[in-house]
Amino acid sequence: MVVVSRNLRSKLYLIGSGPGDPDLLTIKAYKILEKADVLLFDHLVNPEILTIVPENCVKVYVGKEPYANFTPQESIHSLIEQYCRTYKCVVRLKGGDPYIFGRGFEELLFAEELGIEVEYIPGISSMQGAGFHNIPLTHRDVSDGIWALTGTKKDGRLSSDLQLAIQSNSTVVIYMGMKKLDEIARTYVMCGKGDTPAAIIQCATLPGQREVVCEVADLLNASRDSGLSHPAIIVIGEVVRLYASNRNSFILNDQLAKMKRN
């Protein structure tokens, strides 16, 4: 690998753009975007955020659309090297937070190996979007913590940690799991916890946000019946019942799902 001089004046900023609503962007991220020379942005970045950069900023889409076209990570690395050789302020803008299933640390390691200075600016993770649906990720006497798991590992498998998480008294949040709803449900059922409350939240914090609440065993049917798809997170645990108990939606969705199966 060709090593870039340590005297290179460019700087790479790894910035999280949050779950979608541009108002949730941090002030520090906003200030950096205002002076960006290059913007390498992901699929889930709100287009409104792209208008913050200067008019002469070079904007390059490097998104990974789920189950569709994507930019290989190696290509993103090459673009980082290319633009950091020419421009002073290069921004790598990701949805959510760069270090939560965002491969941000891979890009940091790559850039630092080339001698490029890197600064990480966190973003609100999409799992925190559950709060916009009045689902707390933790609650005293209900949830002891949070398991944040990927629904699709590099080899395509569901995280094996799910079976450990099921045995805990904590909330389980699954990213990139919409293609694994049946497998997630079966895993809970096999562990004797198919009646655990669950929610699918699509496009959290955006005007078109939607959710469905059901028992975890009914995840697939509930998703199909409501027409929900990605981008979405899956929240599983007793914290979902707190949301549902205030609206009777858990009971209603459960009854509808059972009626349709019968």
Instruction: Label residue 200 exposed, middle or buried (CB < 10 Å: 0-12, 13-18, 19+).
Output: buried
Which residue in the list 64, 179, 193, 225 is annotated as catalytic?
64
Who's near 114: CB < 8 A, 6+ residues apart?
Answer: 1, 2, 3, 4, 81, 84
The answer to whether 144 is a known catalytic residue is no
Sign of the Cα pseudo-torsion (181, 42, 72, 13, in order): negative
Integer Rg of the chain from CA: 20
Sign of the Cα pseudo-torsion (18, 128, 172, 240, in order): negative
Which residue in the list 37, 42, 97, 254 is annotated as catalytic?
42
Who's near 56: CB < 8 A, 6+ residues apart?
Answer: none
The answer to whether 193 is a known catalytic residue is no
Look up residue 1 and give its two tokens. Answer: 């690998």
Cis peptide leading into residue 231 (ω within 30°): yes
212 Cα distance to chain centroid? 18
Active site residues per annotation: 42, 64
